C-alpha cells in the first residue's frame, strides 16, 4: 500500500483498491474503535493532549479527504458557512497557503490577520481578542511567538484554537509528516525516525507523537541545543508506556544508524537571526548527506518542513528520490483540512481505516 517515490509510476487507483480490500479484512475492529473517537469542539495546542487513537483518527480523516477530493474529484463543502480567523505573528508560506486553500476548498471562509491587523496583547488584550473572535468565527488558527499566547486564547475563547506554530510546539507540521510516512511506507508502527538538528518546536512535537504511533525516535542535537527538559521527560514516559525507543545523542551518525527516516529543520529560526554565525559554527557536522544516509536502513527517506538551507541538507539528498519534502509540504493542506473538519463537524471517513 505504499505510495513510494521509488515507484512513482505505480497506479494510484490500484493502490487505493488494495488499501480498501486489505483494510476491510484486517482493520475492521480498529476502524470501529476509531470511528467512535469524536474531537468536535476540541482545541489543538499540542499533540501531547491527544491520545493514540485521536491522532490516528486525525490522520485517517486527512487521508480520506485527500482521497475523496484529490483523487475522486468530489466536492465536499463540509465547512460551508463557517469561517476561520488566522492570526500570524510570524510569516509563513505553507501554514498560510495550506489553511487558506484547504478551508476554502471545503466551502469555508478564511480571514487572514497579520500583526499589522491585530496586535495581540498590545492594542487589545488576548482575553478580549479571544472573546471577540469567538463571536465572529468558528475556529482560530494562531501562529505566535509564545506558546503562552495560545494558552490564553484557549482559556478565553468559546471556539477551538489551533496552534499554527509556537516557540514550544508545531503540531500541524507533525500531522503532515506522519501522513506522508504512512503513505510512503504503508504503515507507521515499527519505523525509526531520526532527527538531526536543533532541539526545537518541531522536534518537541515529534517527541509528543511518535511513541503514540508505535514509532521509535532518535534525536541528535549539538550540546546546548537539546530539547526542553520537561518535554524530554514526557517523551521518555510515552516511550515506556507505548513500548518504543526514545534516544538522545549529540552524534548525528549515531542517530542516523538503522533509521528509516532522516529529518532536519532550519538551524536559524525566525527571531534567531542575530545568533546565525554562532549557530552555524555549533551545528557544523550536522548537515544531512548521502554519507549520513549510508548508515541508515536501505529504504531510508528524508523529511524537512521547509524552508530549507543548504547547510542543513545537501542537494544530493534534498532533490533525490529519497526526499519526500514536497509530498510532505502538500500534506500540510490535507492534514489541516482533516484537523478543522474533525474539530468542527461529526464527519466520518468514507475510506477504510489507514494501516498504522
Active site residues: 305
Q: Which three cell numbers stand for residue 171?
A: 503540531
Residues in the chain: 356
Determine whether 345 is exposed, middle or buried from the number of CB atoms within 10 Å of its CB (0-12, 13-18, 19+): middle
Say whether 220 sits in a helix, a strand or coil: strand
DSSP 275: G
Phi, psi of 121 (to 5 degrees): 75, 5
Rounded Cα gap, residues 102 and 108, in angstroms: 9
Pairing label, strands 192-196, 216-220: parallel
Place of cell 476554502: 104
SS3 content of the chain, % helix, strand, coil (to 5): 45, 15, 40
> Residue 154 contacts by C-beta under 8 Å, 6 or more apart in sequence?
43, 45, 130, 161
Amino acid at each position: 500500500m505504499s505510495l513510494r517515490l521509488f515507484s512513482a509510476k505505480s497506479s494510484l487507483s490500484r493502490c487505493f483498491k488494495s488499501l480498501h480490500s486489505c483494510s476491510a479484512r484486517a482493520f475492521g475492529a480498529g476502524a470501529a474503535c476509531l470511528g467512535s473517537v469524536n474531537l468536535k469542539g476540541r482545541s489543538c495546542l499540542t499533540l501531547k493532549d491527544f491520545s493514540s487513537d485521536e491522532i490516528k483518527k486525525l490522520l485517517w480523516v486527512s487521508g480520506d479527504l485527500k482521497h475523496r477530493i484529490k483523487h475522486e474529484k468530489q466536492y465536499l463543502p463540509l465547512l460551508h458557512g463557517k469561517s476561520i480567523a488566522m492570526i500570524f505573528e510570524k510569516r509563513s508560506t505553507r501554514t498560510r497557503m495550506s489553511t487558506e486553500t484547504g478551508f476554502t476548498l471545503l466551502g469555508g471562509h478564511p480571514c487572514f490577520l497579520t500583526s499589522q491587523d491585530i496586535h495581540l496583547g498590545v492594542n487589545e488584550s488576548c482575553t478580549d481578542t479571544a472573546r471577540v473572535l469567538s463571536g465572529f468565527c468558528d475556529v482560530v488558527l494562531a501562529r505566535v511567538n509564545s506558546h503562552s499566547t495560545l494558552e490564553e486564547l484557549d482559556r478565553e475563547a468559546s471556539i477551538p484554537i489551533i496552534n499554527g506554530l509556537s516557540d514550544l510546539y508545531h503540531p500541524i507540521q507533525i500531522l503532515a509528516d506522519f501522513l506522508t510516512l504512512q503513505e510512503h511506507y504503508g504503515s507507521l508502527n515499527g519505523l525509526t525516525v531520526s532527527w538531526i538538528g536543533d532541539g526545537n518546536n518541531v522536534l518537541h512535537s515529534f517527541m509528543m507523537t511518535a511513541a503514540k504511533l508505535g514509532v521509535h525516535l532518535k534525536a541528535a542535537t549539538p550540546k546546548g541545543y537539546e530539547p526542553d527538559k520537561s518535554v524530554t521527560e514526557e517523551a521518555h514516559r510515552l516511550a515506556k508506556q507505548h513500548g518504543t525507543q526514545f534516544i538522545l545523542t549529540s552524534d548525528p551518525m549515531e542517530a542516523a544508524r538503522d533509521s528509516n527516516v532522516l529529518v532536519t529543520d532550519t538551524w536559524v529560526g525566525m527571531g534567531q537571526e542575530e545568533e546565525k554565525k554562532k549557530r552555524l559554527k555549533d551545528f557544523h557536522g550536522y548537515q544531512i548527506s548521502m554519507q549520513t544516509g549510508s548508515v541508515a536502513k536501505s529504504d531510508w527517506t528524508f523529511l524537512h518542513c521547509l524552508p530549507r538551507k543548504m547547510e542543513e541538507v545537501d542537494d544530493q539528498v534534498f532533490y533525490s528520490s529519497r526526499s519526500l519534502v514536497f509530498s510532505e509540504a502538500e500534506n500540510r493542506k490535507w492534514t489541516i483540512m482533516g484537523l478543522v473538519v474533525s474539530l468542527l463537524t461529526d464527519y466520518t471517513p468514507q475510506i477504510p481505516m489507514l494501516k498504522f
